[in-house]
Chains A and B, each alone.
Chain A
Amino acid sequence: VHLVESGGGVVQPGRSLRLSCAASGFTFSDCGMHWVRQAPGKGLEWVAIISYDGSNRNYADSMKGRFAISRDNSKNTLYLQLNSLRAEDTAVYYCATRPQHNTTHWGQGTLVTVSS
């Protein structure tokens, strides 16, 4: 199983960024997918979930309306659109999935830095 995030970088406050998570080694289209972030020196914070087929999505309250999770099962890729970025959105963003109770797969993370 391999999850590889990309798309991070330095962005100015108020701007947008789209993160991607390329999946391989498992049946991506069978699995719900999550984004989790970690600000520098801070703990893990759940961001969003999307169901296996994209029909259901949910977000952490603090990110509703600014972030959008989506997926393309034909490309085995998960996305996170980050809009109206703030300094406090600076974090490593991980994609993750739990195909069974005894397994949770994580990517290596991509760093988003919001700074002028």
Chain B
Amino acid sequence: SYELTQPPSVSVSPGQTARITCSGDALPKEYAYWFQQKSGRAPVLVMYKDTERPSGIPERFSGSSSGTTVTLTISGVQAEDEADYYCQSADSSASYWVFGGGTKLTVL
């Protein structure tokens, strides 16, 4: 298996743009997924296949990929976006998942 690396924390003021990165050697070959987790609740998928947004997720959430790094961008951050965010990927045969360590987004 391999590792995914995220910054432990990101802080932004309401209305600003938050960028959360996830780095891993396999990311050029494998898709990344992003989950939002609010305290005490199950994770919610907010981005899939690097750049695709599931239905029901606000348009202010977007994803990008460059080399070994994928980025979740939240434009016009709102107080309700305060949560932990995890990137996740898998091997090509989907025989395992790997998660990044998580990033705590604080809305100041």
**Which residues of A line the B interface, CB within 8 A?**
32, 34, 36, 43-46, 49, 56, 58, 60-61, 94, 101-104, 106-109
Least Cβ–Cβ distance between B24 and chain A, in angstroms = 14
User: Known: A104-B33, A104-B45. Contact between A43 and B102, CB under 8 A?
Assistant: yes
Cβ A102 vs Cβ B54 within 8 A: yes
Cβ B49 vs Cβ A101 within 8 A: yes
Cβ B99 vs Cβ A46 within 8 A: yes
* Contact-size category for B: 20 to 34
A103 contacts across to B, CB distance below 8 A: 45, 54
User: Known: A44-B99, A61-B1, A101-B31. Contact between A32 and B94, CB under 8 A?
Assistant: yes
Cβ A101 vs Cβ B48 within 8 A: yes
Question: Which of B49, B54, B86, B96 meets A44, CB within 8 Å?
Answer: B86
Near A by CB (< 8 A), chain B positions 57-102 give 84, 86, 88, 94-102
- Kindly name the residue among B42, B54, B55 whose own CB sees the greatest number of chain A CB atoms within 10 A: B42
